Amino acid sequence: MAQWKERLRVFLFPPETDRWLGLLRIGLGLQVLFYALSLRADWNYLFAGPGEGLIGRALPEALLSTESPLIPRLGWLVMLTARTGFSEATALSIVWWVLLFAGCCLFIGFFSRASAILAWFVHLCAAESGGFISYGVDNFMTIGLFYLMLSPLPDRYSLDQLWRKLSPKDPQLIGFFRRVLQVHLCLIYFFGGLAKCLGTGWWDGSNLWRALIQPPFNLIAPEILIRLKYLFPLGGIVICLLEISYPIFIWDRRTRGIWLTCICMMHLAIGLTMGMYLFAFIMIVLNIAAFGPGLDFVWRDKLVRAAVS
């Protein structure tokens, strides 16, 4: 038992540099910026109060209250802003500007920790108040920002570090947070892959076909897609296997590069063919931050050596 504990401790606290943290901060900063900008035209319409907007945030917030009154929501921020005399619409606009500002600060690493907390909190409020209009991207943004705000910021690439010349953080603590993100990604892909393997549609390719022709994901005309119909079963199986085997092959130095490239390509393809750009970007950021730094393309080196010899 003591041996297991020790192994676990060694696994969870490897000494690391903060390169991955810099990548995560910059990536999430960009993600927050893209998220805010992509919703600019609809922000007030999506998150309006009762009797306004598309669906309003009244029902999702009421449902949240039945779960726990402590879960952050936009209603708190609107109420706080309204106390200073602003209208609901102005309050929502201020919240949007705050999110944009937090994204900018995160991107350049200006007051990194405070920016990360602000971005996490404001985005979480929007995601929770959105309720019925929230989807996977909100979940992954919350996960990323949650880990980021707890991680030992600022990193070496941040403006904070250039300015204030802070003492370096404990490498083991930096390594610990990287491990947490890595293990979480392994769980995400394993359970995602397992759930897909349990459906018939991923084995015969019908899910891939449906995903690409169903509105609003139908960016490519079905007349073009039908020419690739023989590739759908293969594509479906590859996605299942890629995801379910992620926790095995991503740890091995020899296969890490291949798996990371394949997973990033898969997300890039999802983004380009289904229009889920934000979802694709957040997944690529999380993957590259977690497994990118220190990556050895052993297979590439071997190929180069073989070619040279």
Partner 1 sequence: MLRGARAYLALVVLHFILIITISCRDIVWLVAHKLTILPSPFSAAAEKVEPIAAAALGDKLLPSNPFRRALLTYLHVAGIDRGYGYFAPNFPAGYKLVFELHYPDGRMEYELPGVNSGAAGLRVATLLDEIGRTRYDPLREYIIKTLAASVWREHPGVKTVRAVFGSLNLPSPAEFEHGKRESYDFLCAYDFSRAEEPAKVENP
Query: According to CB under 8 A, which residues from 138 to 197 bind partner 1?
Result: 138-143, 146, 170, 172-173, 176, 180, 183-184, 187-189, 191-192, 194-197
Question: Is the separation of the CB atoms in 238 and 205 below 8 Å?
Answer: no
Residue 224 in the binding site for partner 1 (CB under 8 A):
no
**Of 149, 143, 74, residue with least CA distance to 106:** 149
Which member of 1, 2, 70, 306 binds partner 1 (CB under 8 A)? 70
Q: How far is CA 299 from CA 123, 252, 255, 260, 304, in A?
A: 40, 12, 8, 13, 9
Question: What does the alpha-carbon distance between residue 19 and residue 156 come to, in Å, rounded to a whole number?
Answer: 8
Q: Is 293 in the site for partner 1 (CB under 8 A)?
A: no
Residue 227 CB neighbours (<10 A): 8
Told to check if 214 binds partner 1 by CB under 8 A, we report: yes
The answer to whether 47 contacts partner 1 (rule: CB under 8 A) is: no
Position 210 contacts partner 1 (CB under 8 A): yes
Answer yes or no whether residue 135 interacts with partner 1 by CB under 8 A. yes
Tell me: does residue 7 bind partner 1 (CB under 8 A): no
Among 96, 107, 157, 209, binds partner 1 (CB under 8 A): 209
* Contact flag: residue 9 with partner 1 (CB under 8 A): yes
Residue 235, interface with partner 1 (CB under 8 A)?
no
Q: How far is the CB of 71 from partner 1 (least distance, A)?
A: 5
Letters for 236-275 (x = contact with partner 1 by CB under 8 A, - = none) are ---------------------------------------x
User: Can you tell me the distance from the alpha carbon of 89 to that of 12, in angstroms, rounded to the nearest whole number?
Assistant: 46
* d(C-alpha 243, C-alpha 197), whole Å: 10
SS3 (DSSP) at 181: helix
**How far, in Å, CA of 190 to CA of 275, rounded?**
24
